[in-house]
C-alpha cells in the first residue's frame, strides 16, 4: 500500500460533497487524496483535530493508533471523548473511531491496537505522530524514508506547539501556491536579447521573476505560439523579459501570454539530522528567537518524559528546574541558541501537561493541510520545524500554584494553563455567535471544549438563517447527512450539547439587521460579554461592527478563502473597528467589454449569467408583475424609453408571439436564441466595426484587448451547440410549467424542421465602442436611433388584458448552482463557451464555470480550523482584558506557506480642543428624561460647546437656522417625545436614542467634530 499516492485508479469524485474543496485543490489532486492511506498516532486533543480534518478532506483511509486511555485532562480539547469514556478507561482511539467515521462515508476509519512494526508502517503513504516518544519518532521516520512515505510529527503543550515535516529526499511540488493560472494580453514584443514583452495595461502582471510562460495567438512572431515554457524576468507591472528573440519574426500584433506552473523538487532532511541542524519555518516575525528556544525546550520535554515517565507537573517548580537543566544540557551539545530563555521554558514546563482546544484547533488545521500536501504534491510544504506559541494568553502576575492544579474536572487542561479564576470567567461568558457555517462550527466545537457559556451565568446565542446543504458537510463538521435541510443554528447547537452537556446555547434563525432589532435589542446587547462573527458577507459584518461600537462590545472577526485565512480582534477603546480598514471593492467588468468586446473567459461567463437572469428569471418576473399589479405600466413609465421598450417587448413575446404550448416549441425558441446570440449579434457587431476598421489615430480597431469575433453556424452534431439547445429549451419549458426532455433523439428530430429567418445587419443599430462613448451618449440625452416610441405604444396596446389571464403565472428560475438537474449551470456553461468560441477564447468546463458564475468561495476545513483556533486565542486574551500589545491579528496562507501576525491598529482620534481627543468608541452618555433645552445647556455649560444642529437618524430636531416659531415649542419637550411629535412614530422607551450633534467651540466659534449622543431612559 505504500506506493505512490499520485498513481491511483480512476475514482468518482462526489462533487456535491467536495464542491468547495475542489475549487482549492482541483480534480487531479482530489484523486490523489482519495488514493492515500494515512496513519495517525495519538488521539488526544491535537490528534482528533488532525483526524477530523484529514477525514473531511477525503483520504482513502485513516488508521488510528492510540493505546492511551481517556483522561479528564483530555476533555478540554478532545471533543469526541466523554466523561463516561474516562470512567470506563476506554482508549482514546477506540472511543473516537465511530464518531470520526460519521464525518465522511467515503473514508475508511480503522482502529488498530497492534504493534507498529516496519511491515505495518509500510502500508501507509503518510504517517502522522502525536504524543509519541522521540525515540519512536526517530524509528518511524527512518522506516518512512525507506518506504518513500511522508512523515509528520506534531504536539501541543499548553500554549506552545511544535510541528516537523519530512517528505523525503526528492519531493515533487506540482503547484507551489495553488493560485489560478494568470493570463495577459500582449501589446508588443521586441527582437532583441533578451526579448522585451509589453503587456496591455488592463491587468497588472502578478508574475515573479523565475516564473514560466508560454504564448498563443501572436501575429508576426509566430515562433512564440505554443512554445515550450520559458522563464521570465519581470521588469515592471506591464513589462518583462523572455528568451533571445533576435532570430524570430517581427511581432505584428495580438497574442496572449499564459503562465505555466513548473514542478519544483524539494529535499528534506531526516528527523535525526534536523534535530541537530534545524531549519525553522517562522510563524511570528516579532519572535525571531523563539523557534530556537522552543526547539531546545521541546527536546528537553522529550528527555524529561523519557526519564520520568510523565510530563512536568502543573506549575511545579521542581519539574521546571529539571526541564531547564535538561534544556541547558541539550543546548550545550547542539548549540542551537546562545543562551536559553529561562522564562519561556519555565512557562513551557508549567503548562506542558495540558492541551487546550484553541492551540489544538490551530495546529490541527496546519497539520491537516500538510497531510494534504504530502498526498498530492499540491502546495509548498513547511520546511521543516515549525514552533508556534501564544504565550500572551497566559495570566499575568504572581499567582499561587494551587490556582492551576487539576481537580478531576472536564476543564482541567484549561485550569492548568489559565487558572481557576480565569476558567470561571470563561464558563460565565455570554457570547453572540453570528453564523454557524464552517467557521461557526469550528468555534462552537472549541467553545464546548473550553466551557464557554457552560457556567450558571453563561449563555451562547447563535444565529444563522441558512439550512444545511450536502456541500456543507465537507467542512461544517457538526452536521451529518441526516441534518440536510435542517437549520444550521439548531443542528450546531444540538451537536455541541452532545460534546459538552453543560453548555447553555440558544439558537436563532434570524438575519442580523435593522429588521431584527426588536429581538436583538438594547437589553440583548447589554447582556453580552462580546460578539464573534462567522459571516460570509460584508454587509452583515459592517452591521455587527456598528452594533459592537454602539454597545462598546469586543468583536472577534475572521474569514477564509481557500488556503488563506485572517483574524481580527476589535477591542473597545484600544483598537480600530472592522469598518476602519476594509478591502477595496471587487472590480467589475466594463459594460462594453461584457457586451461586445470580451477577451477572458470570466467575461463570457458573466455575460452568460446575465443572459440566464434575463431570459429565465427577469422575463418571467416582469410577466407576473404585469399580470398581478394594476399599476405596473404606470410604474414602468417612470423608466427610460429604452428600458420600457425592452420590458414591453419581453412581456409581448412571452405572452403572445413566443408563448409555447409544446416542448417542441421550446426547442424552436432555443434554436432562435442560438442564432440571436452567436450569429446575428456577431454579424451586427462586425457590420458596425468591420475587421479592417482603422481608428482616427491610425491604429486597427480590433487590436489590444479587442478581439475580432466570428459568427457561429449552428451544427447539430457539435456537442456544445446541442448542449445550449437542450439547456435553453428545458429552462424555457420550466418557465411555462411544461415537461422537458433530455432525449437527444427528440432534438435531432425537431431541429432540422425549424426554419430560422435570414438576418441582415441594420445601420440603425448603434453600438458604443467604449464605456466612455456609451456614457457620453447617455449624457447627450434622447433614445438611441433604433428605439422607436411608436413601437413601444403599439406593443403596449397589443399586450393581453391581465383580466383575461386571471391566475396565470410563469415560473421564474431562481438561480441555484448546486442542483445538477436544473439546467442552470448547464445553460451558463454552454452559453459562455459558445461566446468564447465567437471570440477565440479558451472555453471553461462546467466546474470552473460554476465557480465563477455562482461566485463560490473556495473553502478548506484545514484553514477553517486554523482560523477558529486563532480566534479563540484572542478570546482568552479578551477574557483577561489584556493590553493592546498582547493582542494579535492573524494572516495566513497555508499553501505557500505563510503565517504572520500584527498588533491591531489603534483607533483614529479627532480633537475637540487641546487636551480633549475622542475616537469612534467615545460618546456622550445621557440618562433622561432630558428636554431639548437641557441638552443644549448640557453642551454649553459642561463642555463649552454650542450645538448648531441635532438629529435622530434622518430627523432634524434642532438647527441654528430654524425660525424661533419652530424652535421655541420644541425646547421644553423631552427628547423622545420630540422625536415622536416630528416623525409621528413611537419611540421604544426601553432602547437608546442615538443623536448626532454638530457643535462649535464657545471660545472661538470654530466648528468641531464631536462624538454622538447615547440618550436613554433606562
Helix (H) or strand (E) segment spanning residue 138: helix 134-147
Q: What are phi and psi of 383, to 5 degrees?
A: -130, 115
Distance separating alpha carbons of residues 930 and 28, to the nearest angstrom = 69
Helix (H) or strand (E) segment spanning residue 345: helix 342-351
Instruction: Describe the strand order of the beta sheet including 212-216 as a list of residue ranges.
Output: 230-231, 212-216, 256-260, 183-189, 196-199, 239-241, 233-236
* Residue labelled with grid coordinates 462567522: 534
Q: CA 877, 878, 881, 883 torsion: positive or negative?
A: positive
User: Helix, strand, or coil here: 593?
Assistant: helix
* Residue labelled with grid coordinates 414602468: 636
Distance separating alpha carbons of residues 845 and 853, to the nearest angstrom = 12
Query: Contact, 827 vs 731, CB < 8 A?
Result: yes
* Residue labelled with grid coordinates 452559453: 831
Rounded to the nearest 5 percent, the helix, strand and coil shares of the chain are: 40, 15, 40
Query: Own/partner pairs for 716-719, CB < 8 Å, 24+ apart?
Result: 716/747, 716/748, 716/751, 716/752
Residue 618 exposed, middle or buried by CB count within 10 Å (0-12, 13-18, 19+): middle
Q: CA 199, 204, 207, 208 torsion: positive or negative?
A: positive
Distance separating alpha carbons of residues 7 and 892, to the nearest angstrom = 31
Q: CA 472, 896, 586, 214 torsion: positive or negative?
A: negative
The widest CA-to-CA distance across the chain, in whole angstroms, is: 97
* Residue labelled with grid coordinates 521543516: 384
Distance separating alpha carbons of residues 394 and 536, to the nearest angstrom = 31
- Phi-psi map region of 464: left, alpha, beta (phi>0 left; psi -120 to 50 alpha): beta
* Residue labelled with grid coordinates 523557534: 291
Q: How many CA atoms lie within 13 A of 925 on its CB side?
A: 6
Which residues, including other chains, have CB under 8 Å from residue 638's CB and lie 6 or more apart?
A: none
* Alpha-helical regions (H) of 591-743: 591-595, 601-612, 619-628, 632-636, 641-652, 663-675, 681-688, 719-735
987 is catalytic: no
Q: Which of 441, 592, 654, 666 is catalytic?
A: 592
Distance separating alpha carbons of residues 956 and 123, to the nearest angstrom = 76
- Give me the active site residues, please: 592
Amino acid at each position: 500500500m505504500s506506493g505512490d499516492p499520485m498513481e491511483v485508479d480512476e475514482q468518482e469524485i462526489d462533487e456535491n460533497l467536495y464542491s468547495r474543496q475542489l475549487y482549492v485543490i482541483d480534480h487531479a489532486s482530489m484523486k490523489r487524496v482519495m488514493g492515500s492511506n494515512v496513519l495517525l498516532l495519538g488521539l488526544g486533543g491535537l490528534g482528533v483535530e488532525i483526524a477530523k480534518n484529514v477525514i473531511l478532506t477525503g483520504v482513502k483511509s485513516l488508521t488510528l493508533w492510540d493505546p492511551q486511555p481517556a483522561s479528564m485532562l483530555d476533555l478540554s480539547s478532545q471533543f469526541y471523548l466523554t466523561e463516561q469514556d474516562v470512567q470506563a478507561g476506554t482508549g482514546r482511539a477506540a472511543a473516537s473511531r465511530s464518531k470520526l467515521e460519521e464525518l465522511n462515508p467515503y473514508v475508511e476509519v480503522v482502529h488498530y491496537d497492534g504493534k507498529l512494526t516496519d511491515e505495518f508502517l509500510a502500508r501507509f503513504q503518510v504517517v502522522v505522530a502525536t504524543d509519541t516518544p522521540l525515540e519512536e519518532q526517530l524509528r518511524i521516520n527512518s522506516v518512512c524514508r525507506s518506504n518513500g512515505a511522508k512523515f509528520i510529527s506534531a504536539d501541543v503543550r499548553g500554549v506552545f506547539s511544535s510541528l516537523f515535516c519530512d517528505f523525503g529526499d526528492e519531493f515533487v511540488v506540482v503547484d507551489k501556491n495553488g493560485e489560478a493560472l494568470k493570463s495577459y494580453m500582449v501589446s508588443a514584443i521586441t527582437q532583441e536579447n533578451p526579448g522585451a514583452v509589453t503587456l496591455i495595461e488592463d491587468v497588472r502582471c502578478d508574475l515573479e521573476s523565475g516564473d514560466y510562460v508560454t504564448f498563443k495567438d501572436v501575429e508576426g512572431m509566430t515562433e512564440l505560439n505554443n512554445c515550450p515554457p520559458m522563464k521570465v524576468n519581470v521588469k515592471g507591472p506591464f513589462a518583462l523579459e523572455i528568451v533571445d528573440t533576435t532570430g524570430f519574426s517581427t511581432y505584428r500584433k495580438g497574442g496572449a501570454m499564459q503562465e505555466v506552473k513548473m514542478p519544483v523538487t524539494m529535499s528534506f532532511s531526516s528527523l535525526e539530522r534536523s534535530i541537530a541542524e534545524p531549519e525553522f519555518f517562522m510563524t511570528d516575525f516579532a519572535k525571531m528567537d523563539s523557534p530556537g528556544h522552543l526547539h531546545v525546550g521541546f527536546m528537553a520535554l522529550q528527555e524529561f518524559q523519557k526519564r520520568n515517565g510523565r510530563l512536568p507537573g502543573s506549575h511545579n517548580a521542581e519539574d521546571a528546574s529539571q526541564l531547564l537543566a535538561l534544556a541547558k544540557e541539550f543546548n550545550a551539545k547542539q548549540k542551537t541558541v546562545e543562551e536559553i530563555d529561562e522564562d519561556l521554558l519555565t512557562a513551557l514546563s508549567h503548562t506542558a501537561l495540558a492541551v487546550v482546544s484553541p492551540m489544538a484547533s490551530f495546529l490541527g488545521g496546519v497539520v491537516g493541510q500538510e497531510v494534504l500536501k504530502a498526498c498530492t504534491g499540491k502546495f509548498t510544504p513547511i520546511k521543516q520545524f515549525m514552533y508556534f506559541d501564544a504565550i500572551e494568553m497566559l495570566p499575568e502576575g504572581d499567582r499561587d500554584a494551587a490556582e492551576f492544579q487539576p481537580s478531576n474536572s472536564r476543564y482541567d487542561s484549561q485550569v492548568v494553563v489559565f487558572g481557576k479564576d480565569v476558567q470561571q470567567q470563561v464558563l460565565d461568558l455570554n457570547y453572540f455567535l453570528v453564523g454557524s457555517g464552517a467557521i461557526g462550527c469550528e468555534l462552537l466545537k472549541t467553545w464546548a471544549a473550553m466551557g464557554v457559556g457552560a457556567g450558571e451565568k453563561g449563555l451562547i446565542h447563535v444565529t444563522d438563517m441558512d439550512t444545511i446543504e450536502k456541500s456543507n458537510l465537507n467542512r461544517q463538521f457538526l452536521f451529518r447527512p441526516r441534518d440536510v435541510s435542517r437549520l444550521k443554528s439548531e443542528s450546531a447547537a444540538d451537536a455541541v450539547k452532545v460534546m459538552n452537556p453543560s453548555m447553555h446555547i440558544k439558537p436563532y434563525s434570524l438575519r442580523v439587521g435593522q429588521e431584527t432589532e426588536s429581538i436583538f435589542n438594547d437589553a440583548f446587547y447589554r447582556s453580552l460579554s462580546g460578539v464573534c462573527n462567522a459571516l460570509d458577507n460584508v454587509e452583515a459584518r459592517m452591521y455587527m461592527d456598528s452594533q459592537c461600537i454602539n454597545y462598546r462590545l469586543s468583536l472577534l472577526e475572521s474569514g477564509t478563502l481557500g488556503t488563506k485565512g485572517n483574524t481580527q480582534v476589535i477591542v473597545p477603546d484600544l483598537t480600530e473597528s472592522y469598518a476602519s480598514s476594509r478591502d477595496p471593492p471587487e472590480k467589475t467588468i466594463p459594460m462594453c467589454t461584457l457586451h461586445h468586446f470580451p477577451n477572458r473567459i470570466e467575461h463570457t461567463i458573466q455575460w452568460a449569467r446575465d443572459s440566464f437572469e434575463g431570459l429565465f428569471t427577469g422575463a418571467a418576473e416582469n410577466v407576473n408583475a404585469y399580470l398581478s399589479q394594476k399599476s405596473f405600466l404606470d410604474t414602468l413609465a417612470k423608466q427610460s424609453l429604452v428600458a420600457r421598450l425592452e420590458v414591453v417587448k419581453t412581456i409581448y413575446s412571452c405572452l403572445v408571439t413566443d408563448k409555447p404550448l409544446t416542448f417542441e416549441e421550446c426547442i424552436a425558441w432555443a434554436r432562435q436564441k442560438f442564432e440571436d446570440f452567436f450569429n446575428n449579434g456577431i454579424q451586427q457587431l462586425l457590420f458596425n466595426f468591420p475587421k479592417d476598421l482603422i481608428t482616427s489615430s491610425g491604429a486597427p480597431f480590433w487590436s489590444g484587448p479587442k478581439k475580432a469575433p466570428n459568427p457561429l453556424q449552428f451544427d447539430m452534431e457539435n456537442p456544445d451547440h446541442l448542449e445550449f439547445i437542450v439547456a435553453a429549451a428545458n429552462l424555457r419549458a420550466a418557465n411555462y410549467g411544461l415537461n422537458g426532455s433530455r432525449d437527444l433523439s427528440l432534438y435531432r428530430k425537431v431541429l432540422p424542421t425549424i426554419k430560422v429567418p435570414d438576418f441582415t445587419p441594420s445601420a440603425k443599430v448603434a453600438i458604443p465602442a467604449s464605456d466612455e462613448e456609451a456614457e457620453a451618449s447617455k449624457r447627450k440625452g434622447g433614445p438611441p436611433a433604433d428605439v422607436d416610441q411608436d413601437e413601444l405604444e403599439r406593443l403596449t396596446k397589443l399586450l393581453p388584458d391581465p383580466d383575461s389571464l386571471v391566475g396565470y403565472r410563469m415560473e421564474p428560475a431562481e438561480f441555484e448552482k448546486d442542483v445538477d438537474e436544473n439546467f442552470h449551470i448547464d445553460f451558463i456553461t454552454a452559453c459562455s463557451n459558445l461566446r468564447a468560441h465567437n471570440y477565440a477564447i479558451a472555453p471553461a468546463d462546467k466546474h470552473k464555470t460554476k465557480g465563477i458564475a455562482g461566485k463560490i468561495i473556495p473553502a478548506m476545513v484545514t484553514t477553517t480550523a486554523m482560523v477558529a483556533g486563532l480566534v479563540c486565542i484572542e478570546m482568552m486574551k479578551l477574557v483577561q482584558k489584556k493590553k493592546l500589545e498582547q493582542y494579535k491579528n492573524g494572516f495566513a496562507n497555508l499553501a505557500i506557506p505563510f503565517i504572520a501576525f500584527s498588533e491591531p491598529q489603534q483607533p483614529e482620534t479627532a480633537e475637540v480642543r487641546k487636551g480633549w481627543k475622542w475616537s469612534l468608541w467615545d460618546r456622550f452618555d445621557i440618562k433622561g428624561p432630558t428636554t431639548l433645552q437641557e441638552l443644549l445647556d448640557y453642551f454649553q455649560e459642561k463642555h463649552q460647546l454650542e450645538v448648531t444642529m441635532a438629529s435622530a437618524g434622518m430627523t432634524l430636531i434642532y438647527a441654528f437656522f430654524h425660525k424661533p416659531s419652530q424652535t421655541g415649542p420644541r425646547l421644553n419637550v423631552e427628547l423622545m417625545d420630540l422625536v415622536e411629535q416630528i416623525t409621528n412614530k413611537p419611540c421604544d422607551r426601553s432602547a437608546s436614542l442615538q443623536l448626532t450633534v454638530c457643535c462649535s467651540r464657545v471660545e472661538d466659534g470654530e466648528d468641531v467634530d464631536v462624538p454622538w449622543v447615547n440618550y436613554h431612559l433606562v
